Chains A and B, each alone.
Chain A
Amino acid sequence: MNPAAALRDAGLAALVAFGLFAPLVGLRTDVSPTGGLFLRTRWTDVAILCGLVFAGRFLLSLWTGRRGLRPTAGPTPWTARLERLSTFVAPALLGLALVLPFIPGVERYELDIGILVLTYVMLGWGLNIVVGLAGLLDLGYVAFYAIGAYAYALLATTFGLSFWVCLPLAGILAAFWGVLLGFPVLRLRGDYLAIVTLAFGEIIRVVLINWTSLTGGPNGISGIPRPSFFGLPFDASGDPGTFAGFFGLEPSPWHRVVFLYYLILALALLTNWVTIRLRRQPLGRAWEALREDEIACRALGINVTTTKLSAFALGAMFGGFAGAFFATRQAFISPESFTFIESAIILAIVVLGGLGSQVGVAIAALVMIGGFELFRNLEEWRMLVFGAAMVVIMVLRPRGLVGTRTPTVALGQKRAISGDLVSEGHG
């Protein structure tokens, strides 16, 4: 594209930017000491922003020509290179995850991030069953996360049951709610299903905030028992009945953190294993067939409703497990952790992963959550950058990072199928 046209594009863009930024950035409303509002001017900021837009658009026009940034789907040269490495990527990531606590230089902070990333990986894998495999658009996944967390918290604090007893109960309860919520709405078309699940998520959050007698309201539930190593508590005392005492180690909070890390890793790997197994079973194939063409499924005798419900319930169960883990890790939960934004982030992870791919979801979670943590020092700008990144990534790779789907069975060689052919589902 010739520089003159690029300059004109940039000029127009800067003009639009001025119209956008001058009122809201240039004139800031502040509360004066007397309680009223007054305006503060920040014209230099507006000038800088317009300048940035000008320069950015100029460079973009020069580089990409008239079209600007275009979405790509399916395999591209980049993803093709990644695919070739893909046989190494999954084992490499797994290996890294397994030995992370023992890598020199990894402190409490890094391990905490690791736990956070793995939590989102597990949530992503759970939602992947619903959205990636079955093609059902669920915007309220956080509801099951919350149900699992609160179920665990209430069971543990009220009945004093151990983590290993509460965990399956939390999962079953979440799955039960998944069926209950899913049953009336699963015949809805895609967008409507999305909105209804969003509404469910919000209803549950509002109920959690207001049903104070059960859930503690906005104060949440605290004093949730900390995890123990199969009966050995992680005490600082070093007594023989504690973890440190039993293994003859110096008591340290590090032990509990490492235990939590391997716990979430195990839970996530369980989710992954079940998903991979089911994909090769008729149920998993039915989920994917549902995503491709629901009407054809019906014509082949597949009970679409129960198939959808099974995806929903299983996804909910893993969400519940993750919630139980969250509760025991934090020792305190409140409705603030279960907002719509969480559902949106988990969905973004699944969509960014692409085509129901397990590895894709893991990488997407690593990139999004890890990236979010890395930009800690941006503070209030962090969410803004995060939202902008979501938009940019979706425009560039609308089908996600992974470009192909691998079939689960073949007469000869399993050959990867281009993402262009794979359906996104219609709810």
Chain B
Amino acid sequence: MAYALQQLINGISLGMIYGLIAVGYTMVYGIIGMINFAHGDVFMVGAFVSLIALLLLQLGGVMDGTAAILLMLLFSVAVTALYGWTTERIAYRPLRGSFRLAPLISAIGLSIVLQNFVQVSQGARVKPVEAVLSGGVEVFREGDFAVQLSYMQMLIVGTTLAALAAFTVLVTRTPLGRAMRACEQDRKMAALLGIDTDRTISLTFVIGAALAAVAGTMYLLRYGVIDFYIGFLAGVKAFTAAVLGGIGSLPGAVLGGLLIGLIETFWSAYFSVQYKDVAAFSILVLTLIFMPTGLLGRQEVEKV
């Protein structure tokens, strides 16, 4: 029982990270109908940038945990957002139109570029880092097994919720959010009504990248070790989460992320660690076969 509770806690914090990345996928798919293949690698860049920020802060003598984390987040979000913006301008915007295969190949090429760029500039070895925030609270105890809720996990959940709340306010209350939703519904019409669709789409990518940066920072702090390949795996799982929740639905992305995090954690705890990635992929396949619109997605009727 205690073991299960621990897995639950672990799964939720992992799931929040996936959820943040999934929101980026679902936003981009909603607005330009494209799967941003390189999004997972933007998350990876975010993790690396926050690593560098952390080292800079340690050099600069900033020892306070929460201040350091806040500065890391700001730095990572700023730089990663720039990466998100640049990727859209270079690899996707020229191909916006009726091309279907080219943007996909371009995105895959971009993913290769980002992975290898980080590999070449930072070295191929894994990067371990000491825990910034350690310790936690004992939540439950069953005999010898203590269920730990670490401060790190609380931070992850808290930060993620804050980021998602800010994001929701953005989408529902601001003109930008309205413009994004308009472009999602009917881009041509939005343009005819005077919305700068290019800028709106750019900002969608930027916001997605910002959220991915937050996820990257959380990932770094949670796992303490990153390498240039984490983007691919996290990307596929986050995409699975987005599909599971219903692609195009923002709450669905978060819900999907939580589910994937929980399933992955419970699977590796109770069945096998080796096949945990297969669990995520299999869920993706089953969801698409039996529930293509996902849990919270919209039913699409094709007009003949």
Q: Is chain B found bound to chain A in the same assembly?
A: yes
> Considering the chains assembled together, what is the distance between the CA atoms of A399 and B105 in angstroms?
11
In the complex, chain B residues whose CB is within 8 Å of the CB of A39: 52, 55-56, 59
Q: Does A348 sit at the interface, judged by CB under 8 A?
A: yes
A395 x B120 contact (CB < 8 A): no
What is the chain B residue whose CB lies nearest that of A387? B112
CB distance from B107 to the nearest CB of A (A): 9
B52 x A203 contact (CB < 8 A): no
Q: Does B236 sit at the interface, judged by CB under 8 A?
A: yes
In the complex, chain B residues whose CB is within 8 Å of the CB of A16: 82, 86
A23 x B52 contact (CB < 8 A): yes
A24 x B52 contact (CB < 8 A): yes
In the complex, chain B residues whose CB is within 8 Å of the CB of A207: 278
> Considering the chains assembled together, what is the distance between the CA atoms of A186 and B224 in angstroms?
41
Q: Does A367 sit at the interface, judged by CB under 8 A?
A: no
What is the chain A residue whose CB lies nearest that of B281? A199
Q: Does A232 sit at the interface, judged by CB under 8 A?
A: no
Q: A71-B95, A344-B105 are in contact. List 20 more A-B contacts (CB 8 A).
A: A16-B86, A25-B121, A36-B130, A39-B52, A68-B94, A69-B94, A70-B94, A131-B101, A137-B100, A195-B243, A195-B288, A199-B282, A206-B274, A210-B274, A383-B116, A386-B109, A387-B111, A394-B91, A398-B99, A426-B100
Docked complex: B261-304 residues within 8 A CB-CB of A: 274-275, 277-278, 281-282, 284-285, 288-289, 292, 302, 304
A19 x B128 contact (CB < 8 A): no
Q: Does B173 sit at the interface, judged by CB under 8 A?
A: no
A383 x B112 contact (CB < 8 A): yes
For the residues of B in contact with A, the DSSP-based class is helix
> Considering the chains assembled together, what is the distance between the CA atoms of A161 and B277 in angstroms?
35
**Looking at the complex, which one of B45, B48, B284 makes contact with A199 (CB distance below 8 Å)?**
B284
Number of interface residues of A (CB under 8 A): 67
- Interface pairs A-B: 6 shortest CB-CB: A390-B109, A387-B112, A398-B102, A384-B116, A387-B113, A391-B109
Q: Does A191 sit at the interface, judged by CB under 8 A?
A: yes
B45 x A24 contact (CB < 8 A): yes
In the complex with contacts A348-B108, A387-B112, A398-B95, A381-B120 CB distance below 8 A: yes
In the complex, chain B residues whose CB is within 8 Å of the CB of A202: 236, 277-278, 281
CB distance from B224 to the nearest CB of A (A): 11
B105 x A23 contact (CB < 8 A): no
Docked complex: A6-60 residues within 8 A CB-CB of B: 16, 19-20, 23-25, 27-31, 35-39
Q: Does A259 sit at the interface, judged by CB under 8 A?
A: no
Which of B33, B130, B243, B288 has the most C-beta atoms of chain A within 10 angstroms of its own C-beta?
Answer: B288
The contact size tier of chain B is: 35 or more
Q: Does B117 sit at the interface, judged by CB under 8 A?
A: yes
> Considering the chains assembled together, what is the distance between the CA atoms of A206 and B120 in angstroms?
27
In the complex, chain A residues whose CB is within 8 Å of the CB of B102: 71, 351, 394-395, 398-399
> Considering the chains assembled together, what is the distance between the CA atoms of A83 and B292 in angstroms?
42
In the complex, chain A residues whose CB is within 8 Å of the CB of B34: 191
In the complex, chain A residues whose CB is within 8 Å of the CB of B278: 202-203, 206-207
**Looking at the complex, which one of A24, A188, A203, A424 makes contact with B122 (CB distance below 8 Å)?**
A24
Which of B49, B99, B100, B284 has the most C-beta atoms of chain A within 10 angstroms of its own C-beta?
Answer: B100
What is the chain B residue whose CB lies nearest that of A298? B304
> Considering the chains assembled together, what is the distance between the CA atoms of A235 and B270 in angstroms?
53
A424 x B101 contact (CB < 8 A): yes
CB distance from B111 to the nearest CB of A (A): 7
What is the chain A residue whose CB lies nearest that of B34? A191
What is the chain B residue whose CB lies nearest that of A27? B52
Q: Does B104 sit at the interface, judged by CB under 8 A?
A: yes
Q: Can you give 29 A-B contacts (C-beta < 8 A)?
A: A16-B82, A16-B86, A19-B82, A20-B86, A23-B53, A29-B55, A29-B122, A39-B52, A68-B94, A71-B94, A73-B99, A131-B101, A137-B101, A188-B288, A190-B100, A192-B292, A194-B104, A196-B288, A199-B282, A200-B281, A202-B236, A203-B282, A351-B102, A380-B124, A384-B116, A390-B105, A395-B94, A399-B99, A424-B98
A394 x B106 contact (CB < 8 A): yes
In the complex, chain B residues whose CB is within 8 Å of the CB of A390: 105-106, 108-109, 112
Docked complex: A330-385 residues within 8 A CB-CB of B: 340-341, 344, 347-348, 351-352, 380-381, 383-384
A341 x B112 contact (CB < 8 A): yes
A424 x B130 contact (CB < 8 A): no
In the complex, chain B residues whose CB is within 8 Å of the CB of A30: 123
Question: Which residues on A are within 8 Å of B, measured CB to CB?
Answer: 16, 19-20, 23-25, 27-31, 35-39, 68-71, 73, 131, 137, 184-185, 188-192, 194-196, 198-200, 202-203, 206-207, 209-210, 295, 340-341, 344, 347-348, 351-352, 380-381, 383-384, 386-391, 394-395, 398-399, 424-426
B86 x A24 contact (CB < 8 A): no
> Considering the chains assembled together, what is the distance between the CA atoms of A398 and B107 in angstroms?
12
In the complex, chain B residues whose CB is within 8 Å of the CB of A209: 274
CB distance from B40 to the nearest CB of A (A): 12
In the complex, chain B residues whose CB is within 8 Å of the CB of A38: 55
In the complex, chain B residues whose CB is within 8 Å of the CB of A19: 79, 82
> Considering the chains assembled together, what is the distance between the CA atoms of A20 and B90 in angstroms?
14
A191 x B52 contact (CB < 8 A): no
In the complex, chain B residues whose CB is within 8 Å of the CB of A35: 128
In the complex, chain A residues whose CB is within 8 Å of the CB of B118: 24
CB distance from B57 to the nearest CB of A (A): 11
> Considering the chains assembled together, what is the distance between the CA atoms of A207 and B278 in angstroms?
8
